[in-house]
Amino acid sequence: MSLLGRLQDHSERMGEVEAISSAEHSALTYRELQGRVAAGAAFLKSQGIAAGTAIGIAVTDEVEHLTATLALMAVGAHQVTLASHDTAGAKERIARRLELTHILEAPATEDLPGLVRVSWPQRGVAPTVNVIEWTEGGGIIYFGTSGTTGEMKLLPLTDRQIAAQAQRHHDYAGERVLRLGSIEHNISKRLRLYCVWAGGTNVFVPDGEFDVADLCVHQRVTELDISRLHAADLAARELSMLRGVRISVAGSPLPFDVRRSIERNVTPLLTVRYGATECGTIAFAGPGEHDEAEAVGPPVRGLELQIVDPAGAPLPPGTTGLIRLRVDGMTSGYVGDPQETQARFRDGWFYPGDVGMVRADGNLIVQGRSDDMMILNGINVFPAEIERVLERHPAVLASAALPLESKVHGQIPVAAVELRSGVAVTTGELLSYARELLALRAPRRILVLEALPRNSQGKILRREIAAQFETARSGR
Amino acid sequence: MTNEDIRQVIADALGYASVPRFRGSSREAAFLSGAEDVPLATLEIDSLAAMELCIAIETIVGVSILPQQLAEIGSLNALVTTISGAL
C-alpha cells in the first residue's frame, strides 16, 4: 500500500492516535493530519500545482514541511527540499537540474526569483476536505545525498518506493519517535515519512535550546533517532531517565565503545542501522546484538545482499569485498548523472560503495567506503578502521582519517581528531597508540583540531581537513 | 624551514620508524645539536624502517625520498642537505 493510502487507512482505523507532537503546534491526530493533507492538496491544486509540476519546498517549520510534502505527493507533484541551510548557489543548481518551475515557501524568501511562488499558509491549511484524492505513483520526491564531495547527487523515490522502504521500519508502529535532525535533511525526511507509514507519532524538537533527555521525558518519547555525533554526546552522559527509550543510530558506523557506553549510561535498547537513501535500511543490529567487530546485523528480510569482487563475482562468506544488494523500494539512478548511475547501479544491483564481509553467523560487517580505501605501498587501509581505533581512545571524541597523496608510497594515511573537553593528550601518544593497534595501517600523522569541520548534516568535510594537512606540511 | 627544524624532523621520523637505540640516545642529542654526523650504516635500519623513515619525512615536510636512495645519501647530515635542497 502507498504512503498516502496508509495515511488514509490510519485516519479511518486509528484516527484518534497522535500523528504529530510538537511544542509549537497542537498535537495532530491521524484524522487531523489526513484532513490537513487533503486540504493542503486542494489548496495546491487551487494554486495551479498539478501532477508533474516540478516544485521546490522551502518551508522551514518542520510540521508544516511534513504536511506540505504529503500534500504535494497527493497532487502528484515532483518535489525537492530547498533547505534553509543550502546556499543560494546550491539551490539554483538543484532548480536547474530538476527543471523546477515552482517554489512552495513559508516564510517568503528571495531565492530563485525566476520560479512561480506559492506561499504555504503558516499554520497549515484548515482541514475542510475529508478524503485525500491522490495521484498514486505519479509524484516523485528527490533526495539529495553525499554533499561532502563535489556536486550533490539527486535521486528520485516514488510514493510506492518510500512505502516499500518504510515497511523495513515497521518497528515505528505505536512508538513516539523523536528525530533530532531537521526534516530538511534527507535522512530525517525519510524517517518522518516512514513513521507516518507505520502509524507512529512524529515528535518534533522545539525552537531554540533544549535538553534532549528533558524533551524525551516531557514528550513521552519511546524511540530516539539520532546521528553518530549525537550518539557520542549521549554516550558521555548519565541519563538513566532514558532507560526505557529505544535509541536508533543511523548514518555512519557507530564504534563499539560508544555502543557500550550508551547501553551502560543511557539505555540497553540500542539499535544501529546500516542503510542508504537509495534503498532504505539494509541491516540493523538490535539490543543485545552488538559486538566488538561492530557488526550491523544480518541483511533485513526481503533484501538480497552479496559480497563480490570488482568484476561482480560473489565471494565466499568471511571474505572482504564490495557490498551489493537489491530490494523492493530501491531507486534506479541519479538525475543527470549517468556516470555515477552506471557506477552504482549495475545488472539490477545497487552498490552502496562500501566494503564489507558477511560473517559465518550471517551478520554484516561494514569495513569502510570502497572509494575511500587507501593503498599504502600495496597495503589496503580503510579510513573507518583507523577512525574506530582512534575513537576508542578515551581522549578522542571524533576522528577522520584520510590519505596524503604520495608519488612514492601511494596514499599515506593521516588523521585529524577532536578531543573530549577537558582532556589532554599529545599527538605522539595518539600515534603510538594507533601504531600499537593498527601496525602498518596506522596513521602516520595526526592533527588535533578544536572541532572537525562538518557540513550542515554533521558529515565531516575531509577535503577541508586535507587542506589543513597540506598547510601544516608546507608550513614546517 | 631551518636545518635545525629538519634535524628534528629526521629525529622524529627515526623514532616513528622504530629505529633501535637512537631515540633518546646521546647520538640523537649530538645529531640534533649539529655536533655529530651519524652514518646511516651504523643505524639498524631494515627495509621496513627505511620505508617508514621515508614516509615520515614525506608526511611531515612533503619531500619524497625513495628508501633505496638512503644508502646513497649515506649519513644523517647528508639527509639534512638532501631535504634542505628539495624544499
Per DSSP, the three-state class of B39 is strand
ipTM over 0.95: no
pLDDT at B23 over 90: no
pLDDT-derived band at A138, boundaries 50, 70, 90: confident
Which amino acid is residue A210, in one-letter code? F
- Nearest by CB to residue A407, choosing from B9, B51, B64, is B64
Mean pLDDT of A191-212: 95
Residue matched to cell numbers 559465518: A360
Within 8 A by CB and 6+ apart from A83, the residues are: A182, A184, A185, A456
Please say whether the beta carbons of A179 and A192 come within 8 A.
Answer: yes
pLDDT at A106 over 80: yes
Mean pLDDT, chain A, whole residue set: 90
In chain B, where the domains are located:
3-86
Mean pLDDT of A284-309: 94
Which chain B residues are within 8 Å of A375, Cβ to Cβ? none
- State residue A149's pLDDT score: 46
Interface A–B counts its CB contacts (< 8 A) at 39
- Nearest by CB to residue B64, choosing from A406, A431, A444, is A406
- State residue B22's pLDDT score: 85
Q: Does the beta carbon of B56 lie under 8 angstroms from any beta carbon of chain A?
A: yes
| CA–CA min distance B42, chain A (Å) | 25
Bridge partners (DSSP) of residue A55 are A79, A102
Mean pLDDT of A393-403: 93
pLDDT at A476 over 80: no
Which chain A residues are within 8 Å of B47, Cβ to Cβ? none
pLDDT-derived band at A133, boundaries 50, 70, 90: low
The Cα A65–Cα A138 span in angstroms is 20
The Cα A305–Cα A350 span in angstroms is 10
Q: Does the beta carbon of B78 lie under 8 angstroms from any beta carbon of chain A?
A: no
The Cα A365–Cα A231 span in angstroms is 20
Q: Which cell is B84 given?
A: 634542505
| Residue B24 φ/ψ region, left for φ over 0, alpha for ψ in the -120 to 50 degree band, beta for the rest | left
- State residue A345's pLDDT score: 95
pLDDT-derived band at A318, boundaries 50, 70, 90: confident
- Nearest by CB to residue A408, choosing from B16, B54, B61, is B54
- State residue A238's pLDDT score: 85
Smallest Cα–Cα separation from A356: which of A319, A386, A384, A314? A319
- pLDDT tens for A64-88 read 999 999 999 999 999 999 999 888 9
**CA distances from residue A157 to A44, A185, A475 in whole angstroms, order as listed:** 21, 15, 47
Bridge partners (DSSP) of residue A30 are none
pLDDT at A148 over 60: no
Mean pLDDT of A10-31: 92
Smallest Cα–Cα separation from B76: which of B20, B8, B1, B18? B8
> For B53, which residue in chain A has the nearest alpha carbon?
A444
**B48-68 burial: b if 16+ Cβ within 10 Å, else e:** ebbbbbbbbbbbbbbbebebe
Mean pLDDT of A280-305: 94
Give me the percent of chain A exceeding a pLDDT of 90: 66
pLDDT at A266 over 80: yes
Per residue, what are the HEC states of chain A?
Answer: CCHHHHHHHHHHHCCCCEEEECCCCCCEEHHHHHHHHHHHHHHHHHCCCCCCCEEEEEECCHHHHHHHHHHHHHHCCEEEECCCCCCHHHHHHHHHHCCCCEEEEECCCCCCCCCEEEECCCCCCCCCCCCCCCCCCCCEEEEEECCCCCCCEEEEEEHHHHHHHHHHHHHHCCCEEEECCCCCCHHHHHHHHHHHHHCCEEECCCCCCCCHHHHHHHCCCCEEEECHHHHHHHHCCCCHHHCCCEEEECCCCCCHHHHHHHHHHCCCCEEEEEEECCCEEEEEECCCCCCCCCCCCCECCCCEEEEECCCCCECCCCCCEEEEEECCCCCCCCCCCHHHHHHHEECCEECCCEEEEECCCCCEEEEEECCCCEEECCEEECHHHHHHHHHCCCCEEEEEEEEEEECCCEEEEEEEEEECCCCCCCHHHHHHHHHHHHHHHCCCCEEEECCCCECCCCCECHHHHHHHHHHHHHCC
pLDDT-derived band at A418, boundaries 50, 70, 90: very high
Yes or no, beta carbons of A444 and B55 under 8 Å apart: yes
pLDDT at A475 over 70: no
Q: Which cell is A266 given?
A: 543511557
Q: Does the beta carbon of B4 lie under 8 angstroms from any beta carbon of chain A?
A: no
Please say whether the beta carbons of B63 and B57 come within 8 A.
Answer: yes
- State residue A469's pLDDT score: 87
Domains of chain A: 3-218 (3.40.50.12780), 227-369 (3.40.50.12780), 374-474 (3.30.300.30)
**CA dihedral sign, ordered B28, A441, A404, A467:** negative
- pLDDT tens for A343-392 read 999 999 999 999 999 999 999 999 888 878 888 887 878 888 888 889 88
- State residue A147's pLDDT score: 44
- Nearest by CB to residue A408, choosing from B1, B61, B66, is B66
Please say whether the beta carbons of B83 and B54 come within 8 A.
Answer: no
Mean pLDDT of A19-36: 91
Mean pLDDT of B14-43: 87
Q: Which cell is A273 given?
A: 542501522
pLDDT-derived band at A246, boundaries 50, 70, 90: very high
Which chain B residues are within 8 Å of A377, Cβ to Cβ? 51
Q: Choose from A236-245, A272-281, B45-54 the range with maximum mean pLDDT.
A: A272-281
Per DSSP, the three-state class of B75 is strand
| A362 alpha carbon, distance to own chain's centre | 24
Predicted TM-score (pTM) of this structure: 0.75
Residues A135, A141, A143, CA angle at the centre, nearest 5°? 170
- pLDDT tens for A204-238 read 999 889 999 999 999 999 999 998 778 888 888 88
Q: Does the beta carbon of B42 lie under 8 angstroms from any beta carbon of chain A?
A: no
